[in-house]
Amino acid sequence: MEEVLNILDKYFKAQTNEALRRGDLFSCRQEAGETFNDFYLRVKKLAEAVDICKGGDKGCEETQLKQIILMGVSDQDLVQDLITITPTQSLDTVVQRCYAHEAARHTATAITSTEKSTRAASRYKKEKKEKRQQQWKSPTPSMAHKACINCGTHHAKDSCPAAHQMCTSCGRQGHRPRTVRCPATGATCDACGKMHHFKKHCRSTKPVGEAVKLQHNTKVAAPSTQTQQRSGAHRVSSLNRDPTETTPPVIIKVEHYKGIGVLNMLPDTGADTSIIGLDHLHSIGLKQDDLKPPPQEPTYAADGAPMQPAIGSVQVHLQLKGNRIAEWIDVHPSIPLPLLSYRACRELSIIPERFPHPIAQVTHARVRQGNQCIPSDTAFDNEDMPTGISTPCQDQQPPFTTRTTPAQAREYFLRTYKDVLTEWQPDEEECDRHQQQRDRATQSRYNSCARQLPILPVDQRVRIQDPVNKCWYRSGIVVAQPRPRHYDIRLPNGRVIKRNRIFLRPIPATEGEATAPAADTTTTLQDSPVPHRSPRLQQRRTSTTS
């Protein structure tokens, strides 16, 4: 009998592809809500249909099964535990560890679960609930034997109370939690380990982003004594605080006797000297042997605590854009970010020279250094300068009057504050070029969408539409076309106006005008021909006048 079973087993194995069976085995994963026992039985069943190791090597088979279990279990804590024991322990030890971990998790869930905890209920609410249950009608005989699978209660057809409700366990609509229709019934949450809900709709934990946001943007107000007796809830109100900002580092070019390097240094206006770490020293191409002896004076941190003595010092040249200075840098063993001293920040023009004074009180360098308040080349003409006006170095007010033109004001600011405004002043030719490009683009878009109307020749009689009431009661003669779609029209009173082609309509010439010479432009313009009327209306009009 055993031989017959073995023959049948080999026959059925040969009916399927070996590669497909191996793929099913190595891709086997524990499903949501599936116990480890069911998962392990499924793995063993798939392993029996596949020759994992040729020759029947038991050690190789155990290694492969341990790897499949490690990759297939869904509990991340169990995976971390198995990683440490899988290379050294046997298959039986790994399986027993999985069983023990699952049992411990179920025990912890049962201890911390709030489903079995008892709570004192109000007697009034309890009596009210019992009274309401007594008032409910008993279900009809047709539905007494079967409850609704969506809500779990008895009700009439097409009147399910859960038809438009959202399930709090799975997030789907049309059923209540822990019913037959809910896919989360029997599932285990990956976040808290409890049953009958998914991780996405877990109420025991919150996402990390929301927890951090709640911690920074909310405050908890202490409840009153009366509130503490009634409920243990806290009142939460928003602070609406703006996020803090830190000083961004600057990229400094470092030149030394061995070469050139680059450092991201943090401007620190409270630092007396520039400091870097040992890793930063190696990144710019220097070694510890290249350092000079450090200074003997002790260094202190921002809180006044003494810092560790420096390993050594090195003199380098720091360059930022167009500024280049010589600076001694101290090297400390544990510095996460290089710091730039106050003197280096000022000489590299990262901060103003009069820091920490407000920038609004800083005047031009030539004004501060010289005795004159305004250079001679920036002074206005005597006729434009007001009498007795104070200069910028006296009250910080520019010498402007009602007669000062914008060109004079622009020249004054460009010359007085040249170091600030020069790099921000755009090139006039470049601005004109960009404006011409925008004008051409606008004209091209207009021409592509505009309706093509016939060109009006010179001396053509036209009717002109009034832009206000949209009437065509005026007429004139075309005298010129300065640019496309624009015409100069002479009115009967001799006035010349400019109109677009869309506001002009040509008047057909009569027989008398067709034979008349074109040079006679002083004749009075004739009215338009009489509109056509039907013979019936003309006969009625003749009989009325007679």
Which residue do the tokens 């029209």 mark? 489
What single-letter DSSP state applies at residue 334?
S
Q: What pLDDT is attached to residue 480? A: 94
Instruction: Enumerate the β-bridge partners of residue 188.
Output: 195
Say if CB 367 and CB 353 are below 8 A apart: no
Q: How far is CA 202 from CA 104, 170, 215, 347, 397, in A?
A: 21, 9, 20, 57, 65
Residue with the larger pLDDT of the pair 303 and 373? 303
Residue with the larger pLDDT of the pair 122 and 455? 455
Q: What pLDDT is attached to residue 507? A: 93
Q: What pLDDT is attached to residue 105? A: 87
Instruction: Give the dihedral of Cα atoms 109, 111, 112, 117; nearest 10 deg.
Output: 120
- Is the backbone of residue 240 left (phi > 0), alpha (psi -120 to 50) or beta? left
Confidence of residue 421 (pLDDT cuts 50, 70, 90): low
Burial 296-309 (b: 16+ CB within 10 A, else e): eeebeeeeeeeeee
Confidence of residue 525 (pLDDT cuts 50, 70, 90): very low
Q: 280 is written with which tokens?
A: 């930063």
Q: 332 is written with which tokens?
A: 């400390």
Q: How far is CA 110 from CA 78, 104, 113, 117, 177, in A?
A: 19, 10, 5, 10, 20
Q: What pLDDT is attached to residue 392? A: 43
CA-CA distance, 456 to 478, in Å (whole number)? 8
Say if CB 408 and CB 416 are below 8 A apart: no
Instruction: Enumerate the β-bridge partners of residue 338.
Output: none
24: pLDDT strictly greater than 90: no
374: pLDDT strictly greater than 70: no
In 3D space, the residue among 292, 373, 287, 281 whose CA is nearest the CA of residue 332 turns out to be 281
Q: Please write down the long-range contacts of 381-390, taking CB distance under 8 Å and 24 or more positions apart.
A: 384/408
Say if CB 261 and CB 284 are below 8 A apart: yes
Burial 497-521 (b: 16+ CB within 10 A, else e): eebebebbeebeeeeeeeeeeeeee
Instruction: Enumerate the β-bridge partners of residue 487.
Output: 499
Least confident of 211-215, 431-435, 453-457, 473-477: 211-215
Say if CB 255 and CB 277 are below 8 A apart: no
Strands 259-267 and 339-340: parallel
Q: What pLDDT is attached to residue 422? A: 58
483: exposed, middle or buried (Cβ count in 10 Å: 0-12, 13-18, 19+): exposed
What single-letter DSSP state applies at residue 197?
S
The average pLDDT across 290-309 equals 79
In 3D space, the residue among 56, 108, 52 whose CA is nearest the CA of residue 77 turns out to be 108
165: pLDDT strictly greater than 60: yes
Q: What pLDDT is attached to residue 209? A: 46
Say if CB 263 and CB 338 are below 8 A apart: yes
In 3D space, the residue among 277, 286, 294 whose CA is nearest the CA of residue 256 turns out to be 286
Burial 111-129 (b: 16+ CB within 10 A, else e): eeeeeeeeeeeeeeeeeee
Q: What pLDDT is attached to residue 60? A: 86
Which residue do the tokens 């909310």 mark? 218
The rounded mean pLDDT for the chain is 76
482: pLDDT strictly greater than 80: yes
Q: Residue 37 phi/psi, 5° resolution?
A: -65, -45
Q: What pLDDT is attached to residue 429? A: 75
Q: How far is CA 408 from CA 41, 400, 412, 416, in A?
A: 92, 9, 6, 12
Q: Please write down the long-range contacts of 195-201, taking CB distance under 8 Å and 24 or more positions apart.
A: 195/109, 196/169, 197/168, 197/169, 197/170, 198/169, 198/170, 198/171, 200/171, 201/168, 201/169, 201/170, 201/171
Least confident of 269-273, 290-294, 512-516: 512-516
498: pLDDT strictly greater than 90: yes
Say if CB 255 and CB 317 are below 8 A apart: yes
CA-CA distance, 254 to 320, in Å (whole number)? 9
Least confident of 76-85, 117-126, 297-306, 447-456: 117-126
Say if CB 381 and CB 412 are below 8 A apart: no
pLDDT digits (tens, 9 = 90+) for 225-267: 444 444 444 454 445 666 777 788 888 999 988 888 888 898 9
CA-CA distance, 269 to 183, in Å (whole number)? 61
Q: 95 is written with which tokens?
A: 């399986």
Q: Residue 387 phi/psi, 5° resolution?
A: -80, 130
Enter the pTM of the model: 0.29
Hey, which bits of 190-322 come out as E strands?
Answer: 218-221, 235-238, 250-256, 259-267, 274-277, 312-320
Confidence of residue 10 (pLDDT cuts 50, 70, 90): low
- Is the backbone of residue 7 left (phi > 0), alpha (psi -120 to 50) or beta? alpha
Q: What pLDDT is attached to residue 214? A: 44
Strands 312-320 and 323-332: antiparallel
